[in-house]
Structure 1
Amino acid sequence: MNQPDVAIANRQKSTTGRSYEPPAPKWVKTSLSALNAVAPQAAAGLLQHLFTTPPRVAMRPEERAVLATAQRWQSRVRGELMSGYEWGDAHAPAVLLLHGWGGHAGHMSAMVAPLLAAGYRVLAVDVPGHGNSPRAKVALPHFHEALEDMAQRAGRDQVHGVIAHSFGAAGTTYALSRGLKIPRAVFVGPMTQFGALWDAVRSRTGVPRSLIQRMITRMEARFCLGFDEVEPVALAGTLTTPLLVLHDLDDDKVSVAQGEALVARWPGAALRTSSQLGHLKILKDAASVNAAVAFLARP
């Protein structure tokens, strides 16, 4: 095993994530393989382009109906346009909703009515490249800064809690580690170990570990961060925000082992599991939603 292989193997230890998307088209695999043979850095650039371009997921009619009742707004994150939504009394404490990779604000829509009924104001966004926001190439810092942007709009002293899904939980953890103050947090199906992302890329594309390592190195230079240092399980031990993790035992995208790993390292964090809901249905499951709202409402 060469040095890049060792680096990737180390990143993947104890990671039990699953594939996030179906296998890439054959032409993508063939193109990456051919380009890697003659121009490895160009191949890494192409892989980075594919990796940082989130898939688009259509909204369901019931999700659109909830978003249609919101006050709409727009802002920019790292120069990219972002669509935002707000519900409720402008003077009420705010709860921020952050979707996952390839998701959109509609995925969080079942949270809105219960939060409003509990007396909160609710804000949500389509992170750049997602939902109703224009297409863009994005990464962890965009999720972090999308949350910062919501907090700024809500009034930082008015923010009471955050509910984040999947990769949105990674962005939230990073934001908390960089000083964003949020009294309580709920993570749903959280992505906590980035080795799962590299596993997914390799599974989808069939590229060698050495090419994934080159992509990682390019991205770390581009965003001035080290993925090993900013993954949620690495940051968890430094955080004191009260945290509830909701994770389904049958999650088909992010293994419950990732939620367990985060709770084991985050002081005082609690885990609530469910079954037969998977990665998305848990967001609309009444018992899970009620558990999230009840946790945020604790004194």
Structure 2
Amino acid sequence: MSWQIYILRFYFKSISLFIPKFAGLNAFKLFQKVRIKTIKKREEGFYKEVHHFKVGSPKEDLLCYEIGSENKNLVFLLHGWESNAGSLSKFAFQLSKNNYRVISFDLPGHAKYQSNYTNLIECREAFSKVIECIKPDKPFSVIAHSFGSAVCTYTLSKLNYKLDKLVFLTSPNSILEIFKDFKNLIGLSNHSFTYFLQKANLLANEEIKNINIDEKLKLIDFSKLLLIHDEYDKIIPFKNSEEILKMNSENTRLIKYSKIGHYKMLWNDKVLGETVNFLINKKKAPEGA
């Protein structure tokens, strides 16, 4: 455990005893903070090759990217927490060569935005605005990584679009469980956590305990879902994808990999091949790897 975590635990355990509401609200603000990481060299090429455009948004204009012709099949790419659109560049470039128009954007609070705070609700609104700007007139697909899978599901469950295929390169399931993990990490008291949840429920306009990816998928009209997850993933446990599969078994496949990493999987040629083949329907994705 790092010294920063020790300090956070001491801080939140202390103020939880005396001012629990302040502790809960302070913890919620911390939960939304994004650590801005330097864009990696292998991600930089994406920003140089694609067309840049902006979509208006109340907080900051959304930084969006496009590659491929407008008359091709449409696919949106959604990156993960503390990442950027360039992290999915291998998928963007490969799909643009396979008759796809690829639309991507940096999630709010990430990459080059002025703010470094965001949450699932703000990201849902951002994705909605990007879709609204593109105005799809036929079923489209989405490839999402990690937190992006939650953004994808939560957004589309609120909209009335017909989807083609979904690919989740790891996905959380229960948002409440993520909150609980954070609570335990920083040593927030149960009393303070009630204020944390109250703030989150108010922001979402629904109870966080009801935001589960496996259940929200039931509200989306999609043809097929491919889940790809490392069984040893240390960021989002493999059981999350298993839970999603269990609730959506009729049109969902789960491919289990071993030791390909949470982020490194995005640069894995086998994962890229499985994803592209699944979208263009060249072959049936096999079990395992």
TM-score of the superposed pair, with normalisation by structure 2:
0.88
- The number of residues matched between the two structures is 279
Quick one: which of 275, 278, 289 aligns to 1:295? 278
Q: Secondary structure at the match of 2:47?
A: helix
1:44-63 matched pairs, under 5 angstroms: 44-63=24-43
Superposed displacement of residue 200, structure 1: 2.8
Q: Secondary structure at the match of 1:183?
A: strand
1:85-96 matched pairs, under 5 angstroms: 85-96=65-76
Unpaired segments ≥5 residues, structure 2 = 283-289
Unpaired segments ≥5 residues, structure 1 = 1-20
2:232 match: 250
Superposed displacement of residue 158, structure 1: 5.1
2:148 match: 168
| One-letter identity of the residue aligned with 1:271 | L
2:90 match: 110
Superposed displacement of residue 85, structure 1: 1.2
Superposed displacement of residue 240, structure 1: 4.2
Question: In 1, distance between residues paired with 2:212 and 2:171?
Answer: 11
Quick one: which of 166, 172, 180 aligns to 1:191? 172
Instruction: Provide Cα deviations, 1:138-160, integer angstroms capped at 9, x if missing partner.
Output: 21122222222232233322562
Superposed displacement of residue 245, structure 1: 0.6
Is residue 271 from structure 1 mapped to residue 254 from structure 2 by the alignment?
A: yes
Could you tell me the percent identity over the aligned residues? 22
| One-letter identity of the residue aligned with 2:204 | F
- Check the 8 A contact 1:22/1:204 in 2, yes or no: no
Q: Secondary structure at the match of 1:114?
A: helix
Structure 1 residues 158 and 79 mapped into 2: Cα distance closer, same or farther (>3 Å)?
Answer: farther
Q: Secondary structure at the match of 2:141?
A: strand
Quick one: which of 60, 71, 84 aligns to 1:80? 60
1:1-299 matched pairs, under 5 angstroms: 24-157=4-137, 160-181=140-161, 182-241=163-222, 242-266=224-248, 267-298=250-281
Superposed displacement of residue 134, structure 1: 2.4
Report which stretch shifted further, 82-91 or 144-153.
144-153
Question: In 1, distance between residues paired with 2:7 and 2:56?
Answer: 34
- Check the 8 A contact 2:176/2:208 in 1, yes or no: no
- Check the 8 A contact 1:23/1:204 in 2, yes or no: no
Report which stretch shifted further, 283-292 or 190-199.
190-199
Q: Secondary structure at the match of 2:278?
A: helix
| One-letter identity of the residue aligned with 1:116 | S
Q: Secondary structure at the match of 1:118?
A: coil
Cα RMSD (Å) of the superposition?
2.1
TM-score of the superposed pair, with normalisation by structure 1:
0.86
Question: In 2, distance between residues paired with 1:76 and 1:213?
Answer: 35
